[in-house]
């Protein structure tokens, strides 16, 4: 398990299915993601079957459940996907599910811990993400966690009734490790 100031990241389990189904289809959360089409419980179960047995190097993906460190509440998931062993690069994705938990610092903390894991456990060299330019809360959280804007793709996603521009944002190992070295985690277990 990996610890931040507020969150704990742990392996996602099949038993997380009910936690996921509770808020995952909330439009307020999903409108900033690749698709806001609702997921059925069956589809989510099949996704869980895949990711609970995936290997970062063989399958190119690792998914963690995000929990509130103090209460143990399930908050959402964070992912490193498209893990590329030659370039030692991956794409970060995050979704906190319940709108009531947004804007409370969980996301910034989670992203920092996932970067720490990606750089200091997996040995990655760069980690990037894409986010709609209208997702001001996400951009602010990513910048606080160390991401920089690397480029812009015009009209790359259709969401909320229109084509949206997206930022490509990235971090590199040296910059992250200068602030968060590998010999201590972001936060303590308690
Ligand atoms: C994106 C996400 C992970 C960010 O996590 P979070 O816990 O909500 O964000 P944090 O509280 O850590 O940080 C948000 C920052 O943005 C600010 N903020 C919040 N709402 C904002 C808004 N509407 N406009 C601008 N800034 C905003 C907050 O004040 C905070 O900055 P501050 O600490 O300087 O005050 C989370 O909101 C989420 O999962 N959203 C739904 C799905 C999603 O958008 N995923 C990302 C897709 S790329």
In a domain, 162, yes or no: yes
In a domain, 186, yes or no: no
Where residue 98 falls (left for φ over 0; alpha for ψ -120 to 50; beta otherwise) is beta
Q: What is the reported pLDDT for 152?
A: 98
In a domain, 184, yes or no: no
The phi and psi torsions of 121 (rounded to 5 degrees) equal -110, -50
In a domain, 189, yes or no: no
In a domain, 156, yes or no: yes
The total domain count for the chain is 1
In a domain, 129, yes or no: yes
Ligand 1 centroid–CA 53 distance in Å is 30
- Closest residue by Cα to atom 16, ligand 1, is 137
In a domain, 190, yes or no: no
Q: How is 68-108 classified by DSSP, letter by letter?
A: ETTT--EEEEEEEEEEETTTTEEEEEEEE--GGGTTSSHHH
Query: Which pLDDT band holds residue 190 (cuts at 50, 70, 90)?
Result: confident
Q: Mean of the pLDDT values across residues 43-63?
A: 97
Nearest-atom number in ligand 1 for the CA of 30 is 42
Residue of 36, 129, 141 best suited for mutating to test ligand 1, as the one with most atoms within 8 Å of CB: 141
Ligand 1 centroid–CA 101 distance in Å is 10
Q: What is the reported pLDDT for 156?
A: 97
CATH of the domain at 151: 3.40.630.30
- Closest residue by Cα to atom 37, ligand 1, is 102
Query: Which pLDDT band holds residue 103 (cuts at 50, 70, 90)?
Result: very high
Ligand 1 centroid–CA 139 distance in Å is 7
Where residue 36 falls (left for φ over 0; alpha for ψ -120 to 50; beta otherwise) is alpha
Q: Domain containing 170: what range?
A: 2-179
Q: What is the reported pLDDT for 65?
A: 98
Mean pLDDT (the chain) is: 97
Is any ligand 1 atom within 6 A of the Cβ of residue 100?
no
Is any ligand 1 atom within 6 A of the Cβ of residue 131?
yes
pLDDT tens-digit profile of 151-177?
999 999 999 999 999 999 999 999 999
Model's pTM, two decimal places?
0.97
Long-range contact pairs involving 169-173 (C-beta distance under 8 Å, separation at least 24): 169/128, 169/129, 169/130, 169/131, 169/139, 169/142, 169/143, 170/126, 170/127, 170/128, 170/129, 171/115, 171/126, 171/127, 171/128, 171/146, 171/147, 172/125, 172/126, 173/119, 173/124, 173/125, 173/126
pLDDT tens-digit profile of 134-152?
999 999 999 999 999 999 9
Query: Which pLDDT band holds residue 62 (cuts at 50, 70, 90)?
Result: very high
pLDDT tens-digit profile of 74-90?
999 999 999 999 999 99
Contact in structure between 114 and 63 (CB atoms under 8 Å)? no
Contact in structure between 89 and 126 (CB atoms under 8 Å)? yes
Nearest-atom number in ligand 1 for the CA of 111 is 3
The phi and psi torsions of 65 (rounded to 5 degrees) equal -80, 140
In a domain, 137, yes or no: yes
Ligand 1 centroid–CA 140 distance in Å is 6
Ligand 1 centroid–CA 107 distance in Å is 7
């Amino acid at each position: 398990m990996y610890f931040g100031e507020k969150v704990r990241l742990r392996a996602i389990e099949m038993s997380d299915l009910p936690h996921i189904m509770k808020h995952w289809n909330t439009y307020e959360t999903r409108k900033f993601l690749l698709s806001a089409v609702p997921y059925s419980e069956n589809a989510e179960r099949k996704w869980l079957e895949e990711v609970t047995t995936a290997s970062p190097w063989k399958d190119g993906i690792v998914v963690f459940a995000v929990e509130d460190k103090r209460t143990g509440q399930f908050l959402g998931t964070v992912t490193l996907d498209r893990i590329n062993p030659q370039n030692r690069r991956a794409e970060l994705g995050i979704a906190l599910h319940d709108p009531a938990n947004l804007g409370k610092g969980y996301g910034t903390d989670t992203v920092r811990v996932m970067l720490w894991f990606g750089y200091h456990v997996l040995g990655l060299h760069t980690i990037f993400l894409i986010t709609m330019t209208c997702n001001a809360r996400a951009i602010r959280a990513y910048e606080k966690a160390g991401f920089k804007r690397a480029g812009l793709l015009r009209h790359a996603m259709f969401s909320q009734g229109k084509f949206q521009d997206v930022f490509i944002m990235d971090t590199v190992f040296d910059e992250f490790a200068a602030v968060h070295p590998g010999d201590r985690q972001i936060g303590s277990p308690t």
